[in-house]
Amino acid sequence: MDYINPKLVLETADLEPGEITWKSPSNLAIVKYWGKYGDQLPKNPSISLTLENAFTQTTLFYRPKEVPGPDISLEFFFNEEPQPAFGEKVQKYLARLVPIFPFLSQLDLEIHSQNSFPHSAGIASSASSMSALALCLCSLEDQLFQTLSEDEAFDQKASFIARLGSGSACRSVYPYMAMWGQQSGVSGSSDLHAIPMEENIHEVYKTLHDDILIVSRKEKAVSSTTGHALMDQHPFAEARFNQAKQNTHFLMEALTNGDLETFGRIAENEALTLHALMMASNPGFFLIHPNTLTIIEKVRQFREETKHPVYFSLDAGPNLHLLYPESIIHDVRFLVETELTPLCEDGYYLPDWAGEGPEQL
């Protein structure tokens, strides 16, 4: 599967200018993807929670090229401001996609993107942004050529395209939860694209809350791309990949039967393992902050005292995700607002929950 299609060429004389807008969420990996091979392929499977409030909204404007040529013609705006650095990255990404979408080199493109959350702070902004862009591209193909009318085919191609921009972005295409990476015994699982898990999870996970505690809004000191690359020579790499496969197996059982305790234990273990791998890399690096650790201790103490199923996770950054079912929201929000937000930058947190996936606007 590579989706290369030289037939997707336009008669630009008949093309009217247009625009496409998608809102796509970030996702939180419960089993983490850390380490890759080939062209954005994962060394281990991962399972993620699709979010609702942490999203990117992207509008793709297109029109026939004024000056014909093979290069990608692109203007890129983030939060309505020109962003040459982002624009260069997106331009290179689109150039890679020309064999899949030959019509891209026939158009003048303008992209406007904005996030509902701090960029590059460890809330997987690349997942939401690249999935939103991939969805725009697939919608554009379908609009121009009527080739992706079936939802399953559309979603799978969007997931494949999103993966080429950011590995974790392939999971954001699906509602509630998604799985990416080959896993023994899981039909349809693939390194090339994610698969939906909506039909395989207990109802409790469809109302799962994720309050994102913003310990720091600053851009990460080390990018995820660099972190993934350090796994190539990591002394604990093989043990980690085997651990992830085992955790995926046990997490899938917990997702099916609604076992929140096992879910939470795996979520926390995976989060701490991710940051332990970073610290044990060569060179080692830290993305957690002192307040991150203080919040973890407070969450553990709260769980011990109340026996409530409230758990934490972390992405590649200092900001903590607080996971819990709808049934205990009042008790947990009291903890968040009285004890945890004072440990956040400007007292800010983003209330979020399991989401229904991307939306075309």
Q: For the chain, which domains are there?
A: 12-200 (3.30.230.10), 204-359 (3.30.70.890)
DSSP state of 359: E
Residue 23: its pLDDT value, please? Answer: 98
Q: What is the mean pLDDT of the chain?
A: 95
pLDDT of residue 119: 63
Residues contacting residue 259 through CB under 8 Å, at least 6 positions apart: 253
Q: Residue 213 burial (CB < 10 Å; 0-12/13-18/19+)?
A: buried
Region 161-190: mean pLDDT is 96
Tell me which H or E stretch contains 230.
helix 224-230
Question: What is the rounded distance in angstroms from the CA atom of residue 116 to the CA atom of residue 26?
Answer: 10
At residue 244, what is the residue type?
A
Closest by Cα among 203, 210, 211, 303 to 255:
203
242 is written with which tokens?
């085997």
Higher pLDDT, 22 or 316: 22
Backbone angles phi, psi at 328, to 5 degrees: -115, 25
pLDDT band at 269 (very low <50, low <70, confident <90, very high): very high
On the question of pLDDT at 304 being above 90, the answer is yes
Secondary structure letter of residue 76 according to DSSP:
E
Bridging pattern class, strands 73-78 and 107-115: parallel
What is the band of 125 on the pLDDT scale with cuts at 50, 70, 90?
Answer: confident
Tokens 């085992």 belong to which residue? 246
Among 10-14, 29-33, 188-192, where is mean pLDDT lowest? 10-14
Cβ-Cβ contacts under 8 Å for 146 (sequence gap 6 or more): none
> Which structure tokens are listed for 46?
């991962």
- Residue 120 reports pLDDT greater than 60: no
The token pair that represents 275 in the structure block: 């940051």
123, pLDDT greater than 70: no
Look at residue 36 in the predicted model and tell me its pLDDT. Answer: 94
pLDDT of residue 13: 85
Q: pLDDT-derived band of residue 196, with 50, 70 and 90 as boundaries?
A: very high
